[in-house]
């Protein structure tokens, strides 16, 4: 089963016997952030890496129903040229819901919430899912009443790129106060009686105009960010509360672009008994959702737990002196920034130790690292922490292997790990076990032996504005431009350089 998404953040995914064996996004090959178009190189990688021909693909599942004629014809020609026969098109939010539900591992009834800017005319769906009936839609909201589009409009007002930099708004919000909240509440809200998002019914530039009329031209950027973030949190928690009241179910799956907002996810997690956020929650994950849904249609599919995101390409590289995890930990403890490139590339927006930059969480490296990577000063960094020791540092700690959840850091340890705690006292960790990634796990174990702290700072290996690196050549380019002091590729130090 081949899943394809040919829109914003294009990508593809391959299932064999219902299991995701490979998945990737086109941006990693084209080097164009959130590449829009047909995922030519992604499909090529999937087929070649698994030794599969187009004729062996039972069905091509394409995400999304509506396209302009030109775009549709290009896609059809692409599929015809490669020799794919049978294909189907699956509604946008059904793909989001399927990506979350079928990889959740939930065996009992659960709710599935999808929220984004817009897709096939909708901006929100609430679904009931179980093993017997699959995913059944309960509520939905029009794209003209869109929480995601509202947040994207605020993103643009603040000078960032909508559909790309919403995370900057979330980060900046922690420095401000929600002084414009009352004015913004009139733009989008959740109607508890109608069980639908409601708003003024405008998108894009008209939405920006409406916001500006309410806040005035002399607004304080950090306060606008705080107000938008507070409103988003109010709306999503209201949806979850009403859904739980109506169904009695406190088990939730989450997908769609708004699910990238880890601060809102933290509040949702405090409401429900179990929360699963699909790790590639935005449109970049739609190809997986399309393939999983069609697998369910064709042969049936029960939800299973997604254990690994190392689904992308890997590359041979055997130059340079071999290094072990202990040496890497030593460099980190000495204050060096280490770029770690190994194995198959991660699927999704987070680096999880295979395309990562590592640093000492006990130091005050945050400002320096933001500067050398070209990031805004207010952007936080996240840690990778040994899972069984997470409760020493995190309130209500639980397994979070894909960096989809935010946690409050225990007050007594905040000063011990300043470079991975945001100004609001939270962090977005990756928890790790030896089974998840033996080499990376051992790096952290060795760092703990040296420092007494079982975590390291982990951010993605790329300069700001670029996709996460895919090939060794891109890792080397980032290194040469100052992203790190040391570069380790497949267990070997690049040219033996330690700056």
Give all domains of the chain, ordered by start, each with its CATH number.
2-93+288-299 (3.30.420.40), 107-277 (3.30.420.40), 325-496 (3.90.870.20)
Q: What is the mean pLDDT of residues 463-483?
A: 96
Tell whether the model's pLDDT for residue 497 goes beyond 70. no
Q: Does 114 score more than 80 pLDDT?
A: yes
Q: What is the pTM of this model?
A: 0.96
**Do 57 and 1 form a contact (C-beta atoms < 8 A)?**
yes
d(CA 403, CA 423): 18
Please state, for a pLDDT cut of 90, what percent of the chain lies above it.
94
Residue 203 confidence (pLDDT) above 80:
no
> What average pLDDT does this structure show over 397-403?
97
> Span 315-323, mean pLDDT?
91
Average pLDDT over residues 81-106: 95
Least confident span in 160-164, 203-207, 336-340, 420-424: 203-207
Percent of the chain with pLDDT over 70: 99
Which residue, 485, 497, 499, 470, is CA-closest to 35?
A: 470
Quote the pLDDT of residue 202: 67
Residue 39 reports pLDDT greater than 80: yes
Q: Please report the pLDDT score of residue 302 as a whole number.
A: 95
Q: Mean pLDDT of all residues in the chain? A: 95
């Amino acid at each position: 089963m081949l899943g394809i998404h040919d829109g914003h953040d294009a990508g593809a995914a391959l299932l064999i016997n219902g299991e995701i064996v490979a998945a990737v996004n086109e941006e990693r090959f084209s080097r164009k952030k959130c590449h829009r178009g047909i995922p030519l190189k992604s499909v090529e990688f999937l087929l070649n890496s698994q030794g599969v021909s187009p004729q062996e693909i039972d069905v091509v599942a394409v995400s999304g129903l509506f396209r302009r004629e030109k775009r549709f014809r290009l896609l059809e020609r692409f599929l015809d040229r490669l020799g794919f026969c049978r294909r189907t098109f699956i509604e946008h939010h059904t793909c989001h819901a399927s990506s979350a539900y079928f990889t959740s591992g939930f065996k009992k009834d659960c709710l599935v919430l999808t929220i984004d800017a817009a897709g096939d005319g909708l901006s929100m769906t609430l679904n009931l899912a179980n093993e017997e009936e699959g995913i059944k839609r309960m509520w939905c909201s029009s794209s003209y009443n869109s929480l995601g589009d509202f947040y994207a409009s605020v993103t643009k007002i603040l000078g960032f790129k909508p559909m790309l930099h919403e995370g900057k708004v979330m980060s900046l919000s922690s420095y401000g106060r929600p002084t414009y909240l009352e004015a913004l509440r009139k733009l989008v809200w959740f109607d508890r009686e109608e069980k639908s998002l409601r708003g003024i019914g405008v998108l894009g530039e008209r939405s920006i105009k409406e916001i500006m009329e309410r806040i005035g031209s002399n607004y304080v950027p950090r306060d606008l960010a705080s107000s938008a973030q507070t409103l988003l949190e109010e709306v999503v928690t209201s949806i979850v509360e009403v859904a739980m009241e109506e169904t009695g179910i406190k088990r939730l799956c989450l997908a769609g672009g708004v699910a990238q907002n880890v601060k809102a996810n933290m509040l949702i997690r405090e409401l429900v008994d179990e929360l699963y956020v699909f790790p590639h929650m935005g449109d970049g994950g739609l190809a997986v959702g399309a393939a999983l849904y069609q697998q369910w249609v064709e042969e049936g599919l029960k939800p299973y737990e997604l254990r690994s995101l190392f689904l992308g390409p890997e590359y041979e590289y055997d130059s340079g002196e071999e290094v072990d995890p202990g040496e890497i930990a030593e460099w980190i403890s000495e204050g060096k920034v280490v770029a770690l490139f190994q194995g198959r590339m991660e699927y999704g927006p987070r680096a999880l130790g295979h395309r990562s930059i590592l640093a000492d969480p006990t130091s005050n490296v945050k400002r320096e690292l933001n500067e050398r990577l070209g990031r805004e000063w207010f952007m936080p960094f996240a840690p990778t922490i040994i899972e069984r020791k997470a409760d020493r540092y995190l309130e209500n700690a639980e397994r979070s292997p894909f960096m989809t959840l935010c946690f409050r850091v225990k007050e007594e340890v905040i000063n011990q790990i300043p470079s991975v705690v945001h100004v609001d006292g939270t962090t977005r960790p990756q928890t790790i076990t030896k089974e998840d990634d033996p080499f990376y796990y051992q790096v952290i174990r060795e760092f703990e032996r040296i420092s007494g702290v079982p975590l390291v700072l982990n951010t993605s290996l790329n300069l700001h504005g670029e996709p996460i690196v895919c090939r060794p050549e891109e890792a080397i380019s980032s290194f040469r431009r100052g992203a790190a002091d040391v570069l380790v590729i497949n267990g070997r130090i690049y040219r033996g350089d330690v700056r």
